[in-house]
């Protein structure tokens, strides 16, 4: 069967999908090229001299890895000159990045987590890049963070790259979820899975069990029932998986089902949650919903949240629809 490359896929999508115009197609191709550069840097590891701490911190007060900084720079540089963007915002930067004056400006905003799961870098475990595309609102300067404060339901595209044994790009433009694998010999992303669907039921869950003592009662109830297995109220055995890289954990769930949880708990309550709404929860929530899953904070649909600040954090429960709905029901019951 003749391979379908990312460019061909996007051109065909442009022809049948009014939302995917030429500028959006070209923007996604630029992001994909940037991901290939990041994949190369990640793949070199210690040979590239990019492991270890950068000696700097991000807006959240977290220590940055060298690859965090490099990945952020790659995405900024790749997208600055194409004429498709009005501005960019990154988890690693305090404020939005404006397009240099010598370059034309487009009608989209790009938001990204340049290297998700970077605590895994130095131990050679999968990490990834997450991105979200919004339309630039009229009448708001893209240098102003208010331009980016849009509910996740308004996204026109979202995707992630996972840098594992193979590099994969998983993408939605609002018409389903499709996966592309990087052919390293050709240097091109090739369509390998179309219209991915998350099973509605599952026997796997993903959560950081070391936080169990901090969980709220609904999450504690759900996990306890899973752990009781066949003898418990669920009547089946569950497996727990945890990579500590949202990209890797959610990619597994999109591939074979499951539920990913980073819920509100006593440790994160003051800041509203652990994961960033604009850079992680919204794009991954959009992808999960497009694949037939659900994404919630436990109290509301993630994509309905109206952001109030650029680096806002939220609780996240996403994956197989029936499991997410069960956790949400437990939250309603209190």
Residues at the binding site are 91, 113, 115-119, 208, 274, 280
Q: In whole angstroms, what is the distance from residue 296 CA to residue 206 CA?
A: 15
Enumerate the known binding-site residues for Mg(2+).
Answer: 91, 113, 115-116, 280
Enumerate the known binding-site residues for substrate.
Answer: 116-119, 208, 274
The two three-digit tokens of residue 35, written as one number:
């991901």
Q: In whole angstroms, what is the distance from residue 98 CA to residue 139 CA?
A: 16
Give the long-range contacts of residues 296-300, CB within 8 A, separation 24 or more. 296/324, 296/327, 296/328, 297/264, 297/273, 298/216, 298/218, 298/219, 298/263, 298/264, 298/327, 298/328, 298/331, 299/328, 299/331
What are the φ and ψ backbone dihedral angles of 295, each rounded to 5 degrees? Answer: -140, 120
In order of 82, 90, 92, 201, the CA distances from 108 in angstroms are: 12, 15, 20, 36
């Amino acid at each position: 069967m003749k391979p379908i490359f990312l460019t061909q896929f996007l051109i065909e999508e442009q022809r049948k999908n009014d939302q995917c115009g030429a500028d959006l197609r070209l923007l996604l191709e630029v992001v994909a090229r940037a991901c290939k550069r990041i994949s190369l840097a990640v793949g070199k590891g210690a040979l590239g001299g990019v492991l270890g701490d950068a000696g700097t911190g991000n807006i959240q007060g977290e220590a940055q890895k060298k690859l965090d900084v490099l990945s952020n720079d790659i995405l900024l540089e790749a997208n600055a000159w194409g004429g498709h963007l009005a501005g960019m915002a990154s988890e690693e930067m305090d404020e939005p990045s404006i397009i240099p004056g010598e370059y034309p400006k487009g009608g989209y905003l790009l938001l990204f987590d340049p290297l998700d799961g970077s605590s895994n870098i130095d131990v050679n475990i999968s990490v990834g890049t997450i991105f979200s595309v919004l339309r630039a609102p009229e009448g708001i300067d893209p240098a102003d963070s208010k331009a980016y404060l849009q509910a996740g339901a308004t996204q026109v595209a979202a995707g992630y790259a996972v840098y594992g044994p193979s590099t994969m790009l998983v993408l939605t433009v609002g018409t389903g979820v499709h996966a592309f694998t990087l052919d390293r010999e050709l240097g091109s992303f090739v369509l390998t899975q179309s219209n991915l669907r998350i099973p509605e039921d599952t026997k796997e869950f993903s959560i950081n069990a070391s936080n169990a003592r901090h969980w709220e009662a609904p999450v504690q109830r759900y996990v306890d029932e899973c752990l009781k297995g066949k003898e418990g109220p669920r009547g089946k055995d569950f497996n727990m998986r945890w990579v500590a890289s949202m990209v890797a954990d959610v990619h597994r769930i999109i591939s074979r089902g499951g539920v990913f949880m980073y819920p509100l708990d006593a440790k994160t309550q003051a800041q509203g949650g652990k994961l960033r709404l604009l850079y992680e929860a919204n794009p991954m929530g959009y992808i999960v919903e497009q694949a037939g899953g659900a994404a919630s904070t436990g109290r509301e649909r993630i994509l309905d949240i109206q952001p109030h600040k650029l680096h806002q954090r939220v609780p996240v429960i996403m994956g197989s629809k029936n499991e997410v709905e069960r956790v949400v029901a437990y939250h309603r019951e209190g």
